[in-house]
Amino acid sequence: SGSKALAAVGSTSPITSLFITIFVGLSIGANVVISRFLGAQNDKQVKKAVHTSLVLSVISGIIIALIGELIAKWLLVMMSTPAEVLDQALLFLRITFIGMIFLTIYNFESAILRASGDTKRPLYCLLISGVINVSLGLFFVVICKLDVAGVALATLIADATSALLLLIILIKEKGALKVSFKDLQIDPRITKDILFTGIPAAIQGMLFNIANIIIQSGINSLGADVVAASTVGLNFEIYIYYLITGFAQASITFNSQNYGAKNYKRCIQSTRWCMGLGFIFTMLLSGIFILFSHTFAGIFTSDQAIIELATIRMRYILAFEFLNMTIEIMSGSLRGLGNPMISTILCVIFVCGVRLFYMFVIFPHYNTFNMLLIIYPISWATASASI
């Protein structure tokens, strides 16, 4: 649909990420609590935690969607979104927020299954919804000419599908993870435990993304071509991030289960294995993306100027993703061990604080794309060293 449509979707990424990290953080709380009860072999509490988590997913999804709809335009204007892409970006956001509840429910459902070590069935459901997303995206954009609205609608339908498939799986599940509609209620004590771990994780993610919104405003000030190129590069950072998140989630689950079983030696082993494997796979995938950066960027656009700018972002950021990996896995380990605030405080200081200082004090004097990008490895390095 052209570079403007690409820039419109890309300019919304920090905003959607901001809201997604809220319920992802809360779902981490559900993962930790359920894993701990499973480790302690307390099926009664597992059942309460599962049903409490699902109710919380619906409530938080509705709240996030309403807030998002109310402040969507304000956020885009605050980020200095280029005028030529503002209307398309706002349309994309409004449709996206309507579907937030499905994404919220899916993440909580995934957290329930992952707490027991089951990462396969959430993946299968996501593969199905991914095929639906791509197929409908091509249909809506290429055939129906819906541009950004088509992309957003395809994602909404895909998210609803994955949430429904996981709900069916949980209803048919046997044992403590089985979901029954008559048991859907909030247990105050379990809710408190979920929020104790989930809120710091949500705050950490929110502040990360607030800092990224400030950075995005700097990118937006450099023009639509830079926004489009940054969007292309960001896609590959997202792939790396979810690889990192996979090992971080494994660290949360293993540490929580072993902490609940009072097997503290295996907590240490779990963290070491996640760090080692996370480093290997992060560097491997980052290296592939950097080595073939022109080819990968060419998937999204044929504009050579945008491709060149995109490869700059890929080289500046992907080479240092192993620092981000350290932050995420160590944060996950601390949450699994019942210490969610430590990583949050350190990341607020050494990631968000450093990025905001850089954007408001240094970048105004050196406002180029290259100078803006180096804030990512600088902030990751300070945070990973502190954790």
Tens digits of per-residue pLDDT, 147-202?
Answer: 899 999 999 999 999 999 999 999 999 889 999 999 999 999 999 999 998 888 88
Q: How confident is the model at residue 302 (pLDDT cuts 50, 70, 90)?
A: confident
Above 80 in pLDDT, residue 268?
yes
Predicted pLDDT of residue 22: 83
Report percent pLDDT > 70 for the chain.
100
Whole-prediction pTM: 0.78
What 3-state class would DSSP assign to 99?
Answer: coil
- Over the chain, what is the mean pLDDT? 90
Tell me the pLDDT tens digit for each residue of 310-368: 999 999 999 999 999 999 999 989 988 888 888 888 888 888 889 889 999 999 998 89
Contact criterion met (CB below 8 Å) for 57 and 104: yes
Above 80 in pLDDT, residue 284?
yes
Q: Where are the alpha helices (DSSP H) in the chain?
A: 3-11, 13-39, 43-78, 83-98, 100-115, 120-138, 147-172, 188-220, 224-260, 264-291, 293-297, 304-318, 321-336, 340-347, 354-357, 369-373, 375-386
Predicted pLDDT of residue 177: 93
Predicted pLDDT of residue 189: 93
Contact criterion met (CB below 8 Å) for 196 and 29: yes
257: Cβ–Cβ under 8 A, 6 or more apart, which residues? 35, 36, 38, 39, 115, 117
